[in-house]
Amino acid sequence: MSDHRVLLLAHGSSDPKWCQTFERLAAPSLASVPDSAIAYMELSEPSLDDEIARAAREGVSRITVLPLFLAAGRHLRKDVPAMLERLSSEHQVEITLAGPVGEHPLLGDAIRHIVEESLTGTPSH
Amino acid sequence: MSDHRVLLLAHGSSDPKWCQTFERLAAPSLASVPDSAIAYMELSEPSLDDEIARAAREGVSRITVLPLFLAAGRHLRKDVPAMLERLSSEHQVEITLAGPVGEHPLLGDAIRHIVEESLTGTPSH
């Protein structure tokens, strides 16, 4: 375990199949990034609260929260920053909130490949 | 205009910046796929209702709705199919609902690149 933990933040859903898809989506990142984990904002477990408390208990002093969201709306502009401010103070850890993955141009390109493939039924990559 | 239209379905948000990010994300797909447009499920315009009505008015007989969602939860399993059944019958158009882009393995790989790059601050691709 390092001094720095990466939490891949997902919204969460009351539908367990949503979380299964999400876990598959996050799997390559979790396999590649040391000391990383998934945390859900609401409705699913483990919650962001739980994962930040666990990191603090385990002696981690710096956490990067990386939202696996397509775009930043009210949740990422208001709710999550407020949650992180409270959790940072409560657990005495430094928390950085990164931009959502959907703001990176690479994601729009990947979506184009997937859309093309969905329509033709054959891999375009 | 062809007989087949592709609607890239987004959730929608009360935050206009969310829609701006979303439009940038969809731009490569819109540029590549002929006769395609964005439609929002709720909170943003143009709505799915508006875009399907427009397609029917313009003589399109087949519509593919392709969800730019990371995973299918309640919205994509229940709300959207119910909306599409109603709209298909109302406008006499054939509507196919594709799976969300997040179910494609290519998206998890793209997210891994973006996560790695966010953490190191240098492009990994």
**Chain A nearest C-alpha distance from B86 (Å):** 23
Vertex A77: Cα angle to A91 and B25 (nearest 5): 125
Measured CA to CA, the distance from residue A9 to residue A71 in angstroms comes to 13
Q: Does A74 touch chain B (CB under 8 A)?
A: yes
Q: β-pairing, A62-67 with A4-10? A: parallel
> Has residue A41 got a pLDDT over 60?
yes
Measured CA to CA, the distance from residue B120 to residue B108 in angstroms comes to 18
Residues 18-47 of A with CB under 8 A from B: 18-19, 21-22, 24-29, 32-33, 36
B9 three-class SS: strand
Q: What is the pTM of this model?
A: 0.88
Mean per-residue pLDDT, B56-75: 93
> Has residue B125 got a pLDDT over 90?
no
Q: Read off the pLDDT of residues A23-39 as tens digits, 9 standing for 90 and up.
A: 999 999 999 999 999 99
Q: Which residue of B has its CA nearest to A123?
A: B106
Q: Read off the pLDDT of residues A68-112 as tens digits, 9 standing for 90 and up.
A: 999 888 889 999 999 999 999 999 999 999 999 999 999 999 999
* Complex ipTM over 0.85: yes
Q: Read off the pLDDT of residues A45-54 as tens digits, 9 standing for 90 and up.
A: 999 999 999 9
Nearest to B91 by CA among B48, B120, B122: B48
Q: Domains of chain A by range and CATH?
A: 4-120 (3.40.50.1400)
Vertex B14: Cα angle to B115 and A81 (nearest 5): 45
Contact A102 B6 (CB under 8 A): no
